[in-house]
A and B are shown apart, each in its own frame.
Chain A
Amino acid sequence: AQTVTQSQPEMSVQEAETVTLSCTYDTSESDYYLFWYKQPPSRQMILVIRQEAYKQQNATENRFSVNFQKAAKSFSLKISDSQLGDAAMYFCAYRSRTGNTPLVFGKGTRLSVIA
C-alpha cells in the first residue's frame, strides 16, 4: 500500500521569505500523481499544485513550486514571498493513475507566517 510521510508537523516563516515543506512517499508504481493541498481555518481543502510522475519538469503555480525527485520518492513544496494568507495546514497527497484507488494523504504540516 502507498504511504505518504510529512516529517515536519509545524513550520514557520517570516512574511516575504521562502519556506520549503517536505514530503516523501512510498510506492511500487511508476505512474501516479502527487498533490499539495492547503487547508485554511475555513477547513476547505484547496488544491495548490499537482505533479504527474511521468513529467520530469517540476510544476509551478505562481509563488508555489515543487521539487520532484522520483528516484528518491521526494516531493517538496516551496512557497516564495510568503504571505499572511499562506498560513494553513498543508497536505501532501498521492494518487495512482492506474486502478481504482483514492487519494492517500500525509498527516500535514501546519505553516505559520510571521508578520
Chain B
Amino acid sequence: KAGVTQTPRYLIKTRGQQVTLSCSPISGHRSVSWYQQTPGQGLQFLFEYFSETQRNKGNFPGRFSGRQFSNSRSEMNVSTLELGDSALYLCASSLAPGQYNEKLFFGSGTQLSVL
C-alpha cells in the first residue's frame, strides 16, 4: 500500500507569490491534516479535512487555505508569500477523524523556501 505522497518535495518562491502544495493520502483514508514545521515554532496545526469538509482550522491567517477533493486528495494554498512562511509543510492522513484507534500517517513533507 502506498504511503502518503506529498508533492513537490522542495519549492522555492519569492515574496508576494502564491504556492499550492499537494497531498495524496493512503488509499481508503478520508481524513487529511496539514501541519507547518519550523525550527522556531515547531509543529503547528493548519487544518483538517474529512469528506471534502474542513473540520478544524488552526490559528493561521487567511492567506493559508486548503481544500479536499472527492478522491480525498488535498491541496493547501498560501497566497502573498512572506519570508516567515518558509517551512516544512507536512500532511497526515487517517481513515476518519476521532476514531478510538485512529492512527495518523505522515508524508515526507514539502520544504518551502521563500526568498
Q: Which residues of A contact B (CB under 8 A)?
A: 37, 42-47, 50, 91, 97, 100-108
Nearest residue, chain A, Cβ from B33 = A102
How many CB-defined contacts (below 8 Å) exist between A and B?
45
Cα A100 to Cα B108 with chains together (Å): 25
Other-chain residue from A45, A97, A102, A107 in contact with B42 (beta carbon distance below 8 A) = A107
Other-chain residue from B55, B104, B109 in contact with A103 (beta carbon distance below 8 A) = B104
A91–B43 touching, CB < 8 Å: yes
Interface size class of B (residues with CB under 8 A): 20 to 34
* Secondary structure class of chain A's binding surface, majority of residues: loop
Task: Give every chain B residue within 8 A of A107 (Cβ-Cβ).
Answer: 42
Min CB–CB distance B8 → chain A (angstroms): 13
Can you list 26 residue pairs at the A/B interface with Cβ under 8 Å? A37-B106, A43-B108, A43-B109, A43-B111, A44-B3, A44-B106, A44-B107, A44-B108, A45-B92, A45-B106, A47-B103, A91-B43, A97-B100, A100-B97, A101-B56, A102-B33, A102-B48, A102-B56, A102-B58, A103-B33, A103-B35, A103-B43, A103-B45, A103-B104, A105-B43, A107-B42
